[in-house]
Amino acid sequence: MISLKPLATSPDTQLRNLGWDWMLGQDTLPYLTNEVVIVTPTEADAYYEAANELFEMMVAAGQHVIDNNRFAELGIPANLVELIKLSWDDDRNIHLYGRFDLAGGIDGKGIKLIEFNADTATCLPETAVVQYAHLKANGLDESQQFNAVFETLTGQFEELLALNPDLQPTLLLSAMRGFPEDDANVALIGEAAREAGFDIEFDFIDNVEFSNEEGIFWQNPKNGQFEKMDFWFKLVPWESIAEEESELTSLLTAISRKRLGVVLNPAYTLLFQSKYILKILWELYPHHPLLLETDTKPLAGKACVEKVLFGREGANVRILNADGSERQAADGEYGEYNKIYQEYVDFPQDSAGRIFQAGVFYAGEACGLGFRRGGLILDNSAGFVGHIVS
pLDDT at position 28 = 38
pLDDT digits (tens, 9 = 90+) for 129-180: 888 888 888 889 889 999 999 999 999 999 999 999 999 999 999 998 888 7
Can you give the residue ranges of every domain in the chain? 4-274+347-389, 293-343
Amino acid found at 345: V
CA–CA separation, 57 and 363 (whole Å):
15
pLDDT digits (tens, 9 = 90+) for 254-285: 999 999 999 999 999 999 999 999 999 999 99
| 54 has a pLDDT exceeding 80 | yes
- For residue 12, the tally of other CB atoms under 10 A from its CB is 18
Element (H, E) at 191: helix 180-196
pLDDT at position 29 = 41
DSSP secondary structure letters along 321-373:
-TTS-EEEE---S-TTS-EEEEE--PPPB-TT--EEEEEEEESSSEEEEEEEE
Confidence at 21, pLDDT banded by 50, 70, 90: low
Element (H, E) at 149: helix 149-163
pLDDT at position 32 = 66
CA–CA separation, 204 and 52 (whole Å):
33
Average pLDDT of the residues in 377-389: 87
CA–CA separation, 109 and 324 (whole Å):
25
Q: Are 20 and 125 in contact (CB under 8 A)?
A: yes
Confidence at 27, pLDDT banded by 50, 70, 90: very low
- For residue 288, the tally of other CB atoms under 10 A from its CB is 15
pLDDT at position 309 = 95
Confidence at 349, pLDDT banded by 50, 70, 90: very high
